[in-house]
Amino acid sequence: MDLAGYLRFVAALALVLALIGLVAWLARRFGLAGKLPRASARGRRLGVVEFAAIGPRHRLALIRRDDVEHLVLLGPAGDVVIERAIAAEPPAEPEP
Protein backbone atom coordinates (compact mmCIF):
# COMPACT_ATOMS: atom_id res chain seq x y z
CA MET A 1 0.00 0.00 0.00
CA ASP A 2 1.17 3.46 -0.73
CA LEU A 3 0.71 6.61 1.33
CA ALA A 4 -2.62 7.48 -0.30
CA GLY A 5 -4.07 4.11 0.75
CA TYR A 6 -3.02 4.63 4.37
CA LEU A 7 -4.49 8.14 4.39
CA ARG A 8 -7.81 6.84 3.03
CA PHE A 9 -7.85 4.14 5.71
CA VAL A 10 -7.21 6.65 8.52
CA ALA A 11 -9.84 9.04 7.13
CA ALA A 12 -12.43 6.26 6.89
CA LEU A 13 -11.67 5.14 10.43
CA ALA A 14 -12.01 8.70 11.74
CA LEU A 15 -15.32 9.10 9.90
CA VAL A 16 -16.74 5.87 11.37
CA LEU A 17 -15.66 6.83 14.90
CA ALA A 18 -17.17 10.29 14.48
CA LEU A 19 -20.47 8.79 13.33
CA ILE A 20 -20.55 6.42 16.33
CA GLY A 21 -19.87 9.35 18.65
CA LEU A 22 -22.60 11.43 16.99
CA VAL A 23 -25.19 8.66 17.36
CA ALA A 24 -24.24 8.13 21.03
CA TRP A 25 -24.49 11.88 21.71
CA LEU A 26 -27.90 12.10 20.01
CA ALA A 27 -29.20 9.09 21.95
CA ARG A 28 -28.10 10.65 25.21
CA ARG A 29 -29.32 14.13 24.27
CA PHE A 30 -32.82 13.01 23.35
CA GLY A 31 -33.11 10.39 26.10
CA LEU A 32 -33.39 7.36 23.85
CA ALA A 33 -31.35 5.24 26.25
CA GLY A 34 -32.80 6.68 29.45
CA LYS A 35 -35.44 4.14 30.49
CA LEU A 36 -34.43 1.32 32.78
CA PRO A 37 -36.43 -1.87 33.26
CA ARG A 38 -38.02 -2.61 36.61
CA ALA A 39 -36.13 -4.93 38.93
CA SER A 40 -37.52 -8.43 38.77
CA ALA A 41 -35.94 -9.67 42.00
CA ARG A 42 -38.62 -9.82 44.72
CA GLY A 43 -36.43 -9.16 47.77
CA ARG A 44 -35.08 -5.79 46.64
CA ARG A 45 -36.25 -2.67 48.48
CA LEU A 46 -34.47 0.04 46.49
CA GLY A 47 -34.36 0.63 42.75
CA VAL A 48 -34.37 3.13 39.93
CA VAL A 49 -37.65 2.89 38.05
CA GLU A 50 -37.00 5.34 35.20
CA PHE A 51 -34.76 8.16 33.95
CA ALA A 52 -35.81 11.06 31.72
CA ALA A 53 -33.45 13.62 30.20
CA ILE A 54 -34.91 17.13 30.44
CA GLY A 55 -31.83 18.96 29.22
CA PRO A 56 -28.23 18.35 28.24
CA ARG A 57 -27.11 18.41 31.90
CA HIS A 58 -30.30 17.67 33.86
CA ARG A 59 -32.21 14.41 34.35
CA LEU A 60 -35.26 13.32 36.27
CA ALA A 61 -35.04 10.04 38.17
CA LEU A 62 -37.93 8.09 39.61
CA ILE A 63 -36.59 6.17 42.62
CA ARG A 64 -38.56 3.41 44.36
CA ARG A 65 -38.05 2.43 47.99
CA ASP A 66 -40.34 -0.35 49.27
CA ASP A 67 -43.71 0.67 47.76
CA VAL A 68 -43.06 4.42 47.66
CA GLU A 69 -41.57 6.38 44.75
CA HIS A 70 -39.65 9.68 44.84
CA LEU A 71 -39.04 12.04 41.92
CA VAL A 72 -35.51 13.54 41.97
CA LEU A 73 -33.95 16.17 39.69
CA LEU A 74 -30.26 15.39 39.03
CA GLY A 75 -27.95 18.11 37.78
CA PRO A 76 -24.43 19.52 38.04
CA ALA A 77 -25.40 22.01 40.77
CA GLY A 78 -26.84 19.28 42.99
CA ASP A 79 -29.81 17.00 43.44
CA VAL A 80 -33.30 18.21 44.35
CA VAL A 81 -36.27 16.14 45.50
CA ILE A 82 -39.24 17.26 43.40
CA GLU A 83 -41.96 15.06 44.87
CA ARG A 84 -41.98 12.65 47.80
CA ALA A 85 -44.07 9.63 48.73
CA ILE A 86 -45.69 8.92 45.36
CA ALA A 87 -47.81 5.78 45.57
CA ALA A 88 -46.12 3.17 43.41
CA GLU A 89 -48.18 1.49 40.71
CA PRO A 90 -48.16 -2.30 40.85
CA PRO A 91 -46.48 -3.82 37.79
CA ALA A 92 -48.95 -4.71 35.05
CA GLU A 93 -49.44 -8.43 34.61
CA PRO A 94 -49.76 -9.75 31.07
CA GLU A 95 -53.15 -11.17 30.12
CA PRO A 96 -53.19 -14.82 29.01
58 with 91, same domain: the answer is yes
10 with 40, same domain: the answer is no
39 with 79, same domain: the answer is yes
Dist CA 52 CA 57 (whole Å):
11
Range of the domain at 59: 35-96
80 with 52, same domain: the answer is yes
Q: Which residue has the higher pLDDT, 18 or 47?
A: 18
Which range in 35-39, 43-47, 63-67 is most confidently predicted, on average pLDDT?
A: 63-67
Query: Residue 44: helix, strand or coil by DSSP?
Result: coil
What is the model's pLDDT at position 50? 87
- How does the average pLDDT of the chain come out, rounded? 81
- How many distinct structural domains can be found in the chain? 2
Whether the per-residue pLDDT at 35 is higher than 60: the answer is no
Cβ atoms 46, 64 nearer than 8 A: yes
29 with 40, same domain: the answer is no
71 with 51, same domain: the answer is yes
What is the model's pLDDT at position 10? 95
Q: Is the pTM of the predicted complex or chain greater than 0.75?
A: no
